Amino acid sequence: MTLPLPSCMRCVHYKGLQCAAFPKRIPNDILRALHDHKTPYEGEKDGIRFTPTPRFKREGELDTYSDQP
């Protein structure tokens, strides 16, 4: 099975279920990778969007998780 990974965990703004764009709680659509937060999302603060951490900028982003070897 292959599942999409949310970008949150690879973002410089991520702090658990909160982030700079959503200080109260990251919306489920973003956490469940149903919305790519490289594009606007209603309620985001100050136009803050996904920004990859330096590690993922270097290594490239993994967009899915697979339980298959």
Say yes or no to pLDDT of 69 above 70. Answer: no
Q: What is the pLDDT of residue 14?
A: 92
Rounded to whole angstroms, the maximal C-alpha distance in the chain is 41
Has this prediction a pTM greater than 0.75? Answer: no
pLDDT tens digits for 37-60? 899 999 999 999 999 887 766 555
Q: What is the pLDDT of residue 2?
A: 58
Q: What is the pLDDT of residue 65?
A: 44
Tokens at 4, concatenated: 């999409």
Q: Which helix (H) or strand (E) holds 63?
A: none
Please state, in angstroms and as integers, the Cα–Cα distance from residue 57 to each residue in 7, 11, 60, following that order.
13, 10, 6
Q: What is the pLDDT of residue 66?
A: 42
